[in-house]
Structure 1
Amino acid sequence: MTELEKMLSEQYYFATDKQLSQMRMQAKQRCFEFNQLCPSKIKQKKSLLATLLPNVKSAWIEHGFQCDYGVHIHAEHGLFLNHNVIILDGAQVTFGKNVLVGPNTVIAATSHHMDAVDRQRGLCRSKAIHIGDAVWLGANVTVLPGVTIGANSVVGASVVVSSSLPANTVLQQSN
């Protein structure tokens, strides 16, 4: 089994694998090109996004976008990613319709091994993230691996989402 196959089946894998490294480099090159385009170059931005994010039906993505692979990001119509959104898509990251993602949000399907020795060996694990229709993630939100956020939910600014949320949930930072 290849490291890519291990990654996509949510097993531990080595992210330093040559194939995975090449895939990430290609995505990072496209992210760089996208982020260097003048905001008024809408056609060019859409064209570049179509190659970077082939499984995204329609999206408006602001400057500063970063992802690991791009091909593992799936979205229905109406996705909005504000400035400086980062998606670590070692596993599938799925967005429903009309999802709003605030600035400086991190959606991290990938994490390092919890054991120090295995972490130093470079072992990683990715788990799919699912974000339902009409979800709003506020500024500086972090979504961790394996999380599902139900439809119509709102996650307030600076919240770390470490477990799944049912539909129609409002999650805010506690005082």
Structure 2
Amino acid sequence: MNQKERMLSGLPYKAWMDGLSEERLENKKKIFKYNNLEPEYEKAKDALIKEILGKTGNIINVEAPFRCDYGYNIEVGENFFANYNLTILDVGKVKIGDNAQIAPNVSIYTAGHPIHPDSRNSGYEYGIPITIGDNVWIGGNTCIMPGVTIGNNVVIGAGSVVTKDLPDNVIAVGNPCRILRKISEEDRDYYYRNLKFDVEDYK
């Protein structure tokens, strides 16, 4: 098993061997081009982000700047939106469902290093997959750590550090991120805290 195969299997691997450095360099070229496209070149932008990522839906909007390691390890669903400064360390697989809304400065880290300094200094690192369900809203400055699974319909408050799995239909916040409460049918009528919709076409 070479180092790329080890990386994709979630095993300890060395990131500079077996063509991995070259793959990251090629992706960095695409990322640089994407982040420096003139804003009016929407079609070119859409085509390039679909080339960078491993799998996407038809509708995808990723505001520049965006950064990732390989790109091909990232799969996003339909109607994907990410605001400025999304960083995905996609050493491991990252799967995100439909209707994702990602606020600015969110970081999704599959990558990690051993705790013990001797092991860490050996150069070995690892990537553990992250899975995010449908209809998830991730607040600004959130970090999602290796191996986490986030369920459907989840809202994650700004500034959270998500170290453990989150089930469907919850609001979670904090460092470390904890479940605040379940999302209820009553929440449908409010757009922010105690402020009710004054229109009828939101349902």
Give the match's secondary structure for 2:95: strand
TM-score (normalizing by structure 1): 0.96
User: What is the CA–CA distance in structure 2 between the aligned matches of 1:136 and 1:17, rounded to whole Å?
Assistant: 36
Query: Alignment length, in residue pairs?
Result: 174
User: What is the CA–CA distance in structure 1 between the aligned matches of 2:170 and 2:131, rounded to whole Å?
Assistant: 15
Question: Does 2:140 correspond to 1:139?
Answer: yes
Question: Does 2:23 correspond to 1:23?
Answer: yes
What residue in structure 1 maps to residue 106 of structure 2? 105
The runs of at least 4 consecutive aligned structure 1 residues that moved more than 3 Å come to none
Give the match's secondary structure for 2:126: strand
**Greater Rg by CA:** 2
User: What is the CA–CA distance in structure 2 between the aligned matches of 1:74 and 1:54, rounded to whole Å?
Assistant: 6
Displacement of 1:92 after TM fit?
Answer: 0.7
Give the match's secondary structure for 2:99: coil
Amino acid at match of 2:64: H
Higher RCO (Cα < 8 Å, 6 or more apart) = 1
Mind listing any 5+ residue stretches in structure 2 that lack a counterpart? 176-203
Aligned 8 A contact 2:159 2:174 in 1: yes
Displacement of 1:18 after TM fit?
Answer: 4.3
Aligned 8 A contact 1:89 1:110 in 2: yes
Give the match's secondary structure for 1:164: coil
Displacement of 1:38 after TM fit?
Answer: 1.1
Mind listing any 5+ residue stretches in structure 1 that lack a counterpart? none
Give the match's secondary structure for 1:27: helix
Aligned 8 A contact 2:3 2:18 in 1: no
Task: Percent identity, please.
Answer: 37
User: What is the CA–CA distance in structure 1 between the aligned matches of 2:32 and 2:116, rounded to whole Å?
Assistant: 33
